[in-house]
Amino acid sequence: MTTSMVPNLWFDGDAEQAAEFYTSVFPNSSIDNVMHTPDGSVVVVEFTLDGNRFAGINGGPMFTFSEAISFAIATADQAEADRYWDALTADGGQESQCGWLKDRYGLSWQVYPAQLGNLLGDPDPLRAQAAHAAMMQQRRIDLAEIRAAADAASASQGGPS
């Protein structure tokens, strides 16, 4: 038997609406099961986002989301990152810094093109520092701008760009 981990997300009555929203944002997603109380209220929603299982619990107002927990989305390219960013910040989501955002339900996400790691971890410390400094000035990650900053740092030292 393999171990299965399912993040359980605590909502204040809108777990089903949140699951519907998330399944509309991510490909290969579905609402798998909705459990009701005897009076018909939704208590748990089991759903899959791009192959990853989740559960939404309508637990009430006692607990809220914070940045202490976030979901990272490393995308194939800038266009995909922009698509997720736009969808997750729509209708009440909030931008933060360095690719972080909160969606309309208060859940935190980190959205960035996967190539960002190559720039931040560049073996040339000047390029890596310049990339990091550029990223720190951004809300939505702009990979081209970060790459340009790294290239400019390298060029200023006479290195290849």
Output 3 or 134, whichever has higher pLDDT: 134
What pLDDT does 74 receive?
98
- Over residues 126-142, mean pLDDT: 97
What distance in Å separates the CA atoms of residue 119 and residue 141, rounded to the nearest whole number? Answer: 12
Above 80 in pLDDT, residue 158?
no
Domain residue ranges in the chain: 1-63, 65-161
94-119, pLDDT tens digit by residue?
999 999 999 999 999 999 999 999 99
Decide: pTM greater than 0.95. no
CATH topology of domain 65-161: 2,3-Dihydroxybiphenyl 1,2-Dioxygenase; domain 1 (3.10.180)
CATH 2.60.120.10 fits 1-63, yes or no: no
* CB proximity list for 12: less than 8 A, separation 6 or greater: 58, 59, 60, 61, 64
Assess whether the region 1-63 and the region 65-161 belong to the same CATH fold: yes
6-34, pLDDT tens digit by residue?
999 999 999 999 999 999 999 999 999 99
- Over residues 125-135, mean pLDDT: 97
Reported confidence tier of residue 1, pLDDT bands at 50, 70, 90: confident
What pLDDT does 3 receive?
87
What pLDDT does 96 receive?
97
Reported confidence tier of residue 157, pLDDT bands at 50, 70, 90: confident
- Over residues 120-134, mean pLDDT: 97
What distance in Å separates the CA atoms of residue 86 and residue 7, rounded to the nearest whole number? Answer: 24
- Give the mean pLDDT of the chain: 95
Question: Is 76 exposed, middle or buried (CB count within 10 Å of its CB: 0-12, 13-18, 19+)?
Answer: exposed
Q: Decide the pairing of beta strands 52-58 and 8-11.
A: parallel
What distance in Å separates the CA atoms of residue 92 and residue 86, rounded to the nearest whole number? Answer: 11
What pLDDT does 159 receive?
56
